[in-house]
Amino acid sequence: MKHIIFCTYPSIYSSIVLQQLLNSQHIHVDAIIASTVTKKNSRFPSLSILKNSGLRYASYLWIITTLFGLLPRKRLLSVPEMAKNKDIPYFKTSDINNKTSLSFLKQHPASHLLSAHFNQIIDTSLSGFSERQCINIHPSLLPKNKGLDPVFYALLREETQQGITLHSISDDIDGGDIYAQQEMETLLGSSLFTVNTQLFEMGSKLFIQVLDIEKDAMPQDTEGNYDSWPQRKDCRKVNNMINLRHFFSTIY
């Protein structure tokens, strides 16, 4: 049995990952750390996201985070709800590296720290975990498409070969050694939401497999590319942000 601490910014993608972890007989979730960080100047969706990325992208982010947390759900609970139902310690923080957060980590020793859909940089030198013990689920085939919302940029570039990467967390953002990758063919015109749900489910299952066999990690062979927040002009080119029918069928 592997004991883990799960770090995330609560969203429907976080819930997909956590549900898979809780369903595994090989993993025990000892604690959950939930990020409270949003872009500055705002309630969510933030004014800065609205300004930089436009209404459609800001609305998409609001649906997968805030709306998902507000709606009554049957099939897929929110991260706080799952934590409450399973009596898992749940800690909210705007800085995982501050003294209060580090104290929480020390109170819940675990074999691994897993991050998925997490919007903070984890300083492994402070956390008490080695780089090998800290693993991130990144929805791209690293070193391609590092950074924020890699699926968005894959769709923007009309890449039909996408995938998921499990990598160690290092000082180099999304640049840690790779434990495992899994590829997935996507159709042109697939929604940003649909591809992300598929990849995060795939990534959580792959994480369980990797922990079970304790696979060694391999360094990334090239530097790759890094993307920041999508710009409004790019958001106009990605027409299919979210399939609402798929969204509601996922939670009901």
Domains defined for the chain, CATH in brackets:
2-251 (3.40.50.170)
Q: Strand 134-138 and strand 161-168: pairing?
A: antiparallel
- What pLDDT shows up at residue 15? 98
- What pLDDT shows up at residue 145? 97
Contact residues for 41 (Cβ-Cβ < 8 A; gap 6+): 47, 48
CA distance 50 to 34: 24
- Please give the backbone phi and psi of residue 116, each rounded to the nearest 5 degrees, phi first: -155, 130
The distance between the two most distant Cα atoms of the chain, rounded to a whole number of Å, is: 48
pTM attached to this predicted model: 0.94
Nearest to 147 by CA among 169, 116, 170, 173: 173
CA distance 65 to 46: 13
175: number of Cβ within 10 Å: 19
Nearest to 60 by CA among 189, 187, 239: 239
State the DSSP code for 248: H
Establish how many alpha carbons lie within 13 A of residue 158's alpha carbon, considering only the half-sphere containing its beta carbon.
2
- What pLDDT shows up at residue 39? 59
* pLDDT mean by block of 10 residues, the chain; 252 residues: 96 98 96 86 63 92 95 92 97 96 93 96 84 92 96 96 96 94 94 98 96 83 90 94 91 86
